[in-house]
Amino acid sequence: MTVFNALVIPKICNAVLRSYQNSWPRDLVSLYVCSPLDFHAQTMNWDCGYRNMQSMISSYLNHDSTVRDQLFSSGILTIPTLKDLQNRIENAWLKGYDQIGGMQLEYSLYDTNKWIGATEVVSMLRSCKVRACVADFDFTAGQCDLNTMVQIVWEYFESRCEFRKKNKPDDQCIDSSFVAPLYLQHQGHSRLILGVEKWADGNIKLLILDPQMRRAIQFHQRTGDEANILRQGIGTHGLNSKSKYQIAYLAEKSLYQTESDFSKIIVDELRHPRLRFI
């Protein structure tokens, strides 16, 4: 298996925030953005999940002390390589995490080009005693729709940012408080949700970062309105063309005090119709 080095763009959210500061859209009412992370670009047609994991872990290591310390305790001191991530996911299966997912991938990832998804991300983090969760959104089942998912994502960023602003009244949420990005999975590809916008007409748009190389090149070369590259709403074809999504996220209580058999089972942490992040 050949692995190419990814293009890494440090603190990519800073470039996005600068675009708002330079030209705040007239009809934009509210904005919530995750803490800065290092963007690891996709280099092969199957490694999007691993690159998104690297970007997520960069956010944890740079900002959140409790999760960072737990990852340190688990031997993750710097951003793991792609093969390191494969090895850690296999080790999570050996510890009993997500046996269904491990069975589907024949308990073998190392030195292969197999795709991974949200459950593999959660399994690896839980094996490090980080309380990661998965939320399933299946629009074909009639229990929710894209509007519901977008509203839930809005509530996630709003609640995390507002909570930290209350605890740090002199700070700005987007500058000083840690808010983790969301891992967005659909059939065949994964991306990261960096934040949300709410417009005067009530429309909510997600700021979605695609790990594909062409997106990275755009960010690397662009000096204007970077938010336009990320902005996707309910009417955006790339978002509304899928009927099923999974979102991996950190729970409010980010660490497990003790390992349990229950924590090894990866299930939908949201229950319809009352959808709330735990």
**CB 173 within 8 Å of CB 164:** yes
| CA–CA gap between residue 242 and residue 55 (Å, rounded) | 24
pLDDT of residue 268: 76
- Nearest-Å Rg of the Cα atoms of the chain is 18
Closest CA to 36 of 132, 204, 193, 180: 180
pLDDT of residue 272: 42
> How far from 266 is each of 16, 17, 64, 79, 124, CA to CA, in Å?
33, 34, 23, 24, 11
- The dihedrals phi and psi of 257, each to the nearest 5 degrees, come to -75, -40
pLDDT of residue 260: 65
Extract the tokens encoding 277: 């992040």
Q: Write down the catalytic residue from 13, 34, 48, 144.
A: 48
Q: Write down the catalytic residue from 38, 47, 98, 210.
A: 210
pLDDT of residue 178: 78
63 is catalytic: no
Strand partners, 182: 193
pLDDT of residue 190: 95
3-state helix, strand, coil in the chain (%, to 5): 40, 20, 40
pLDDT of residue 127: 94
pLDDT of residue 170: 46
| CA–CA gap between residue 50 and residue 58 (Å, rounded) | 12
**CB 131 within 8 Å of CB 260:** no
| CA–CA gap between residue 58 and residue 80 (Å, rounded) | 10
Extract the tokens encoding 103: 């069975």
Extract the tokens encoding 177: 């408080």
Q: What is the pLDDT along the chain (278 residues), one digit of tens a residue?
A: 545 555 566 667 676 777 777 778 888 899 998 888 888 888 888 999 999 999 999 999 987 678 898 999 999 999 999 999 999 999 999 999 999 999 999 999 999 999 999 999 999 999 999 989 999 999 988 878 999 999 999 999 998 887 655 555 444 444 346 789 999 999 999 999 999 999 999 999 999 988 886 665 666 565 555 566 678 888 877 788 899 999 999 987 777 666 666 678 887 766 543 444 44
40 is catalytic: no
pLDDT of residue 255: 73
Amino acid at 215: R
Strands in the chain per DSSP E: 8-9, 28-33, 39-40, 130-138, 182-186, 189-199, 204-209, 231-232, 244-255
48 is catalytic: yes
Burial string for 149-169 (b: 16+ CB within 10 Å, else e) reads: bbebbbebbeebbeebbeeee
